[in-house]
Amino acid sequence: MTKPFLRSGSLDKLVALGENGQPIYAQAQSIREALRLKNQPAIADCLAIPQLNLRQDRIDWYAPFSGEIRPWTEADDNERRAALAQLDACLTEVEVLSRQAVAAPQAAQQRFGTLLRYLLRFPDAQQVYLVDGKPVLTFWGFDHAEQGGGSDPFACLRSEEAAPVTAAETAIGAPSAPQYDVRPPRAGRPGWLLAAIVMVMTLAALGWQWRQSHDAAPQAAAPAPVLPMPPAAPPAITPMPPLPLAKATLQPAPPTPEPAAPPSDNHALIMPAAAVKAGSTRFLNGEWRAVPDVKTPLTGRLPSLRYRLHNGKGSLSIRQADNVRCRVDVETGLMPSGNLVINSRTKARCSDGSRYQIPEIVCQPQEDRPAACSGRYGADTLYPMTITREKK
């Protein structure tokens, strides 16, 4: 069933949170499975499912369940309060799980507990959606490059709830009107008589000033006539001698150099057309190395995979960053479409006692070119892979 799409965003201005070069969102499938095993479906339902594009610079986010979708910014106060209460309950459970896992003796559990600290962190309120009334976080495990994470991952959601302005605050904040000392008029002459006297004196003063200004102004003298000046004769123009001009010769534009073809890896996996048509995987006999093409510094590097194959069967060994080694048996096969599939029926067993979910490798044949391979880490994360031969 197709998951509901929530949003898509670039990784340019975001920092992926994680430990030892492993971003937490790249472990989305493993984290969701671990939460399911620990009977914490409510926490898993708060996390949108990430899907990284082939250029490794954008992520599409999908809701883990269906329902009416509303951005946090369009929700009313009651919906926000209910959703925030659910997120606070999930945060409490995540903190408990993190402390328990960090205190566990197994290294895998300790790594899991460390990653849980970044689980519910996200850049801002624009990344939160309500799906069927329940909060779902996109870009969880990320933060803005110029900001540091505070102690409360939901501070941006709490600030969205504007506090109502009370009448007391309005009275304190408004500037006070100027106070005047109003005194009663004195007893004596009536007020109208005093006003009439003042008006008559004012009009008399204005009339006297008007007469003085007009009597004292001298008569303006008539302007003297301006005699027209004869126009000046234009200066004589001396003709320039003709310049010797040579005929121009058109030079052809330099040829545009052909772009150099990228160097090909002689050891890259090439699927022979004859073998694909015959349904044979003998061209895989030998030792191979598969490396996820995760080149952005935000995502870090996933461990490389080393295959030893012979006639459709073999083994896979993985060495993780903390020197933990994992191993599992694998099988290869060609699909009716011609695609090559390398997969295992079980999870890899690791030296620290943990289990590692290996990716399913799918390769599409390309004519006279290396095969286009990708690794599916669970149902929600897909990375392009480079597969090269190490030994025959």
Structure tokens given for 150: 């505070």
Would you state the pLDDT for residue 160? 58
Which pLDDT belongs to residue 380? 63
What per-residue confidence (pLDDT) applies to 86? 95
pLDDT per position as a tens digit, 244-288 = 444 444 445 445 444 444 444 678 999 998 888 888 889 999 999
Biggest CA-to-CA distance, the chain: 127
At the top level of CATH, the class of 273-391 is mainly beta
Q: Which residues of the chain have pLDDT under 50?
A: 162-194, 196, 210, 214-228, 230, 235, 237-238, 240-251, 253-254, 256-264, 296-300
| Both tokens assigned to 165 | 């302005």
Place of tokens 């001298």: 218
- 341 phi and psi, to 5 degrees? -125, 130
For the CA atoms of 26, 32, 33, 34, the dihedral, rounded to the nearest 10 degrees, stands at 100
Burial code (b: 16+ CB inside 10 Å, e: under 16) for 25-40 equals bbbbbbbbebbeeeeb
* pLDDT score recorded for residue 279: 86
Q: Find where tokens 């999930």 sit.
A: 90
C-alpha of 376 from chain center: 23
**In degrees, to the nearest 5, what angle opens at C-alpha 302 toward C-alphas 378 and 65?**
30
The pTM for the full model equals 0.45
Q: What is the pLDDT of residue 176?
A: 38
Q: Where are the domains of the chain?
A: 5-158, 273-391
Query: What's the pLDDT tens digit per position in 40-70?
Result: 999 999 999 998 887 778 899 999 999 999 9
Is 24:80 a contact under the CB 8 Å cutoff? no
Residue with token string 């080149």: 295
The alpha carbon torsion through 91, 92, 96, 98 (nearest 10 deg) reads 10
pLDDT reported for residue 184? 40
Q: Angle 130-127-8 (CA atoms, 0-180°, nearest 5)?
A: 105
Q: What is the dihedral of CA 182, 187, 193, 197, to 10 degrees?
A: -70
* 288/383 Cα distance (integer angstroms): 18
